[in-house]
Amino acid sequence: MLRPDIFYQMPDWIQRLYKGVEWRGDTSRKVVYLTFDDGPIPEVTPKVLEILKKYDALATFFMVGENALKYPELTAAVSRNGHRIGNHTQNHIKGTMVTTGVYMYNVGRADWSLGSCRLFRPPYGRLRYHQHKALLDLQYRIILWDVLTHDYDPAYTPEMMLNIVKKYTRNGSIINFHDSLKSNERMLTVLPQVLEFLQSEGYTTEIL
């Protein structure tokens, strides 16, 4: 059974409270934005790229800097296939647990690892006020999501995740997945089903 709606899609009025944060993309067209967090890793990311290629879909990958440095060939493959790379900090650091100085240093290290990337998603979707302000002052685009699939949670089956996408996707939705070991089997099972659903509904995919 699915939880209350707020677990999967923040109400628009709450989204508007977060100044400078992007929850949705272009709402005037039938377009969605697939996103993948926490990679790249060799066990999962290449399989995601294969599925996306099969369905002629584009996505944005919010990478952990240390993973990008460890697997440079995967980082290059993401860009080579037409997808976009975003910053997900160097070590998947939780903003609420560290000072702004420590956080911004970690973001900066990831920026260097990824090649000067100003597209940013905070791990766990959490930031302190001053971290938020510091990112905006440095002209980072802070990206959250409009549809949270919960693919990282073992309690969610692929069927449940597909139902989340079917119920909550709308024009401009930013859909959150993870190319991680934690999400591996469930995400790879549901991703083709999600892409088939999106195509059947007339949605196209774009990068952020």
Residue 52 main-chain phi, psi, to 5 deg: -60, -40
Provide the β-strand partners of residue 173: 24
Active-site residue list: 37, 178
- As given in the structure block, the two tokens for residue 38 are 């926490």
Provide the β-strand partners of residue 86: 62
- As given in the structure block, the two tokens for residue 202 are 């007339």
For the chain, the maximum distance between any two Cα atoms, rounded to a whole number of angstroms, is 46
Cα dihedral 72, 73, 78, 81 sign: positive
